[in-house]
Amino acid sequence: MPRILGIETSCDETSASVLSGTGDDVKLESLVILSQDVHKVFGGVVPEIASRAHLTSIVPVVSRALGDAGVTLDDVDAIAVTSAPGLIGALLVGVCYAKALAFARGIPVIGVHHMEGHLFATALEHPDAVPPFTGLLVSGGHTLLLDVEEWGKYRLLGGTRDDAAGEAFDKVAKLLGLPYPGGRPIETLAREGDPSRFRFTKPMVRRNDTAESADYYQFSFSGLKTAILNAVHDSEDLGSDKADIARGFQDALIGSLVEKTFRAADAFGRTRIVLGGGVACNSALVGAMQERVSEIGATVFAPRPRLATDNAAMIARAGLFHFERGERSDLDLNAFASQPIPGLIAA
Ligand code: KG4
Ligand code: ZN
């Protein structure tokens, strides 16, 4: 049974993981995630600081992952590393380290697309979160709606025209004076909010939309963000309106995510919906999604927070898939800030 060491350094988490298995039958042997708290004081990730922090942590994080799994590099068959997309300096730390380790040990290295990793994350804890399914990936940098016929075959249905879903949470949190990252603070505050006070329009959802409409599966969150900005400016007592505004924002954003995902599942006859990315930690999203897709007899699978946010287990899992298909990267593997997800087929 192949054993993979996964490495993830695309943003502000230094992470390493060991897993082994074949096909969808895998065992997670260890997962270490070191989050760089330093960015909190800047209200966002500072790329140069992120790269330097990865440099300091990568060796101990990888050693710890191997130690927790009770293995050494001699027991590892391949190293999977996030090579795109992400912060270029941050990605390079992982890629250079993985290549050096692979070269020194004479084992293969496999570059993994970060978003393909997110797609595999849920399957690590839910054995049924496997293709065919409708996938919704919602993170700080990306919003992707995909139809997944089988692993490695992805139909990209929709993306965002402007801000990513997590980015919208983070920017609105800033407007409301909440800490970074803003997803969880908004979710907590929205729970106390009155849903009837601020009703914002669900972005890109029109009643007369048809599958032929250009925006049928597309997202856009910057208009909603402006609507929140106006509500904040117009508020005479932000302290008491804050929770209601947070609730109105979250309901509108979730409404859009749920409607588009429902359309995709319905159109392709999928009965499984797999969520991934940091925003998939939001329980209001998971609840609203389950309620809506129940109409077509579908089930929603969401990863627990540790696997929803950036982690190396999902990179190792996607790496195992490519390893088993005989795919390897060369030692000239490079990092790319942006790159389309591999395995795209015509929509
Ligand atoms: O996947 P992730 O860890 O990193 C990226 O690849 O971007 O996602 C981070 C994003 C942040 O924007 C954060 O605000 C959001 O996920 N997030 C949430 C929640 N927890 C994290 N958004 C909404 N509700 C949450 N509970
Ligand atoms: Zn991510």
Q: State the Cα–Cα distance between residues 33 and 8, nearest whole angstrom.
A: 9
Provide the pLDDT for residue 40.
87
Query: Residue 89 — φ and ψ, nearest 5°?
Result: -65, -35
Domain for residue 341, yes or no? no
Domain for residue 169, yes or no? yes
For the chain, what is the domain count?
Answer: 2
* CATH of residue 70: 3.30.420.40
Q: Output the pTM of the full model.
A: 0.96
Residues 103 and 173 occupy one common structural domain: no
Ligand 1 centre to CA of 118 (Å) is 12
Q: Which long-range contacts (CB under 8 A, 24 or more apart) does 18-24 make?
A: 18/65, 18/66, 18/68, 18/69, 18/71, 18/76, 18/316, 19/124, 19/313, 19/316, 19/317, 19/320, 21/320, 22/324, 23/324, 24/123, 24/127, 24/130
Task: Report the atom number in ligand 1 closest to the C-alpha of 276.
Answer: 1
Residues 22 and 160 occupy one common structural domain: no
Contact 66, 72 (CB under 8 A): yes
Q: Is the CB of 117 under 6 A from ligand 1?
A: no
Provide the pLDDT for residue 4.
98
Q: State the Cα–Cα distance between residues 172 and 186, nearest whole angstrom.
A: 8
Residues 47 and 109 occupy one common structural domain: yes
Residues 100 and 156 occupy one common structural domain: no
Nearest ligand to the C-alpha of residue 141? Answer: 1
Domain for residue 34, yes or no? yes
Provide the pLDDT for residue 43.
84
Ligand 1 centre to CA of 209 (Å) is 29
Domain for residue 147, yes or no? yes
Provide the pLDDT for residue 249.
98
Domain for residue 340, yes or no? no
pLDDT (tens place) for every residue of the chain, 347 residues total: 999 999 999 999 999 999 999 999 999 999 999 999 999 888 889 999 999 999 999 999 999 999 999 999 999 999 999 999 999 999 999 999 999 999 999 999 999 999 999 999 999 999 999 999 999 999 999 999 999 999 999 999 999 999 999 999 999 999 999 999 999 999 999 999 999 999 999 999 988 889 888 899 999 999 999 999 999 999 999 999 999 999 999 999 999 999 999 999 999 999 999 999 999 999 999 999 999 999 999 999 999 999 999 999 999 999 999 999 999 999 999 999 999 999 999 88
Q: Is the CB of 163 under 6 A from ligand 1?
A: no
Residues 143 and 287 occupy one common structural domain: yes
Nearest ligand to the C-alpha of residue 308? Answer: 1
Residues 105 and 242 occupy one common structural domain: no
Domain for residue 105, yes or no? yes
Domain for residue 163, yes or no? yes
Mutate to test the pocket of ligand 1, among 171, 172, 279 (most ligand atoms within 8 A of CB): 279
Residues 142 and 286 occupy one common structural domain: yes
Residues 138 and 241 occupy one common structural domain: yes
Q: Is the CB of 282 under 6 A from ligand 1?
A: yes
Mutate to test the pocket of ligand 1, among 9, 36, 113, 139 (most ligand atoms within 8 A of CB): 139
Provide the pLDDT for residue 44.
87
Ligand 1 centre to CA of 166 (Å) is 5
Provide the pLDDT for residue 192.
97
Residues 152 and 292 occupy one common structural domain: yes
Residues 224 and 295 occupy one common structural domain: yes
Domain limits at 98?
3-119+308-324
Question: Which tokens go with 177?
Answer: 């004076």
Task: Report the atom number in ligand 1 closest to the C-alpha of 86.
Answer: 6
**In 235-299, where does DSSP find H-type helix?**
238-268, 283-293
Ligand 1 centre to CA of 311 (Å) is 12
Q: State the Cα–Cα distance between residues 114 and 316, nearest whole angstrom.
A: 11
Domain for residue 347, yes or no? no
Provide the pLDDT for residue 207.
84
Q: Are strands 299-301 and 153-158 parallel, antiparallel or unpaired?
A: unpaired
Within a 10 A sphere around the Cβ of 28, how many other Cβ atoms?
17
Task: Report the atom number in ligand 1 closest to the C-alpha of 281.
Answer: 26
Provide the pLDDT for residue 240.
94
Residues 183 and 275 occupy one common structural domain: yes
Residues 99 and 147 occupy one common structural domain: no
Contact 79, 5 (CB under 8 A): yes
